[in-house]
Chains A and B, each alone.
Chain A
Amino acid sequence: MKTVQFLSNSIHIDKISKGLNLTRSLFVSSLLTGEEHTGKKTFIRTLFPTAIYVDASHETELLTALELNHELIIYNFEKIVNLEKLDFEHKRIIAIANSVKEPKKLSKTFAFIYKMPSLKEREDLNLLIKHFQVESKEALMLNEDIQLDIEALDLNQNIKSLKASIYKQMLLKTIKKEEIKSLLYAYLFKEIEGNNAYREHLTLYEEPLLKAGLKKYKSQLKLAGVLGLNRNTLRKKLQEYDIN
């Protein structure tokens, strides 16, 4: 069986873990809710690796599993249509849901309701960033250490977007001149057409050059000198690309 690891230094998550551990011998129903990709299922798997897991999207399968087992972990619980059909009496149930549709009904069914914090709410975000940084360095076979732009990391889809944005940053920050050329070659080979292709694709070079230059040298005067361009030409080009 595949071993799973849930990374956390969060006090909040530690308390959830303590609560679930205390009830592991009791016949109670617990619900763990939270945004998508916050690691709820992985978290439960690390606590209950040998439990029986059933997908709430398949009602018949779920009802059979409920009949046969005293202990069950039900995921995708937000997909349940008929809560009344489920008999949790004298069972140990842990349900995992990305959202809560009928909070009143759920509140009557589940004695223990826990909320997994989103990545934006977690105080141990650095632990995850470090983990994905090491993982991506290995996966991309990079030798050098890369400084990540933490502000630019995407947390909107929690672990999914965080991981993707770290991989992207790691890749983009190590790309070499020759690789940029070959990347551009492949792109242009596919895209060149019409009768104005030169001007249309010039933006691929000019825009990042001007943006990076202005950020680095801060003044148009300085940048004009560095680029070897006339100040008026530079101003016109900045206006053209709407760069301030």
Chain B
Amino acid sequence: MTSIDFKFFIENDSNPFILFNNSGKIAYLNISAEVLLGTCSSKEIFDIALAHAPQTFGAKKSVLKLTFNSFEFYGINVLYENEEFIGIHLYNKPLKKPNEQIVLDGFTSTDINLLLQANIELFNIDYKGKIALLTDYDIPEFQMHQNNFSLLLRHIFSAFKESEKLEINLKIKLGERVVIKNKNYSIILLELKGNLQKEQSQELLRKLADKNAIMLQTREKAIVLEIPAII
């Protein structure tokens, strides 16, 4: 049987694959893994590989939920056949097809700065900390569900209620666009940085974000919203 070079297939797999040497240095990584390592360190992945490695040579699959910014994985496969190298496959969580599910009922042309300001005023009634707002007032009006977006913001703000400081940045995301129902739109980036209270329900935030066709990312000390500027 002729030998087949599998490298091309691994290289272009949409699931990240990384091969480490025994000191944790990367010996090989495919394209998806390169993108993933833009959001987390190779040490984090190496530690995960070691923690879930099979007891002896071979492969061990584990089902576990891993999240690195917008990347979500439902499981991993850790493999080694000698003492020198250890490989890890991370399996992407199947993505919903949000574009097809987006319902734009109740969306109306909105000045996001005005809506944000109203929400800040509400939060500021009881908030004891300091709010720093950095915004682009030139963002044009676009379609939003004003009540649902405010409901989402209220829940996000309440996750920062004990934070001494809350930084809010609103801007147009450069170099990236989003395609919704075959049309492409700019992305508005809303970042809220401060000390997050972990008890805030992620599920509820995601549900509310989905209702608004918004991509929500929760980081250690920030919540980031990617809002499609539908016009």
Contacts and interface: CB of A to CB of B under 8 A. Distances in A.
A108 interface: yes
A29 B147 contact: yes
A108 B197 CA distance: 20
Contact of B108 (A12, A23, A27, A112): A27
Given A22-B118, A89-B106, A114 B147 contact: no
Interface stretch (B1-9, B23-31, B59-67, B121-129): B121-129
Interface stretch (B43-51, B74-82, B109-117, B175-183): B109-117
Contacts of A12: 125
Contacts of A28: 118, 146-147, 150
Interface string A75-92: 000000000000011100
A18 interface: yes
Given A19-B118, A26-B118, A90-B106, A111 B124 contact: no
B108 A111 contact: no
Contact of B114 (A26, A88, A90, A112): A26
Contact of B122 (A19, A26, A90): A19
Nearest to B121: A19
Interface in A3-41: 12, 15-16, 18-19, 22-23, 25-29
Nearest to B110: A26
A112 B118 contact: yes
A111 B106 contact: no
B151 interface: yes
A22 B125 contact: no
B122 A112 contact: yes
Contacts of A111: 146-148, 150-151, 153-154
A88 B147 contact: yes
A14 to B, nearest CB: 10
Contacts of B105: 89
A23 B125 contact: no
B117 A22 contact: yes
B147 A27 contact: yes
B151 A108 contact: yes
Interface string A180-206: 000000000000000000000000000
A103 to B, nearest CB: 13
Nearest to A27: B146
B38 to A, nearest CB: 35
A15 B124 contact: yes
A27 B122 CA distance: 16
Contact of A15 (B110, B114, B125): B125
B125 A16 contact: yes
B146 A22 contact: no
A26 B146 contact: yes
A12 B153 CA distance: 21
Nearest to A88: B147
A26 B75 CA distance: 44
B142 to A, nearest CB: 14
Contacts of B122: 19, 112-114
Contacts of B153: 111
Contacts of A16: 125
Contact of B115 (A15, A18, A26, A89): A26
A90 B153 CA distance: 18
Nearest to B153: A111
Given A28-B150, A112-B154, 11 more contacts: A12-B125, A15-B125, A18-B121, A19-B118, A22-B114, A26-B110, A26-B114, A29-B147, A111-B153, A112-B122, A113-B154
24 contacts: A12-B125, A16-B125, A18-B121, A19-B118, A19-B121, A22-B117, A22-B118, A22-B121, A26-B118, A27-B108, A27-B146, A27-B147, A28-B118, A28-B147, A88-B147, A89-B105, A89-B106, A90-B106, A111-B151, A111-B153, A112-B150, A113-B122, A113-B154, A114-B125
Interface of A: 12, 15-16, 18-19, 22-23, 25-29, 88-90, 108, 111-114
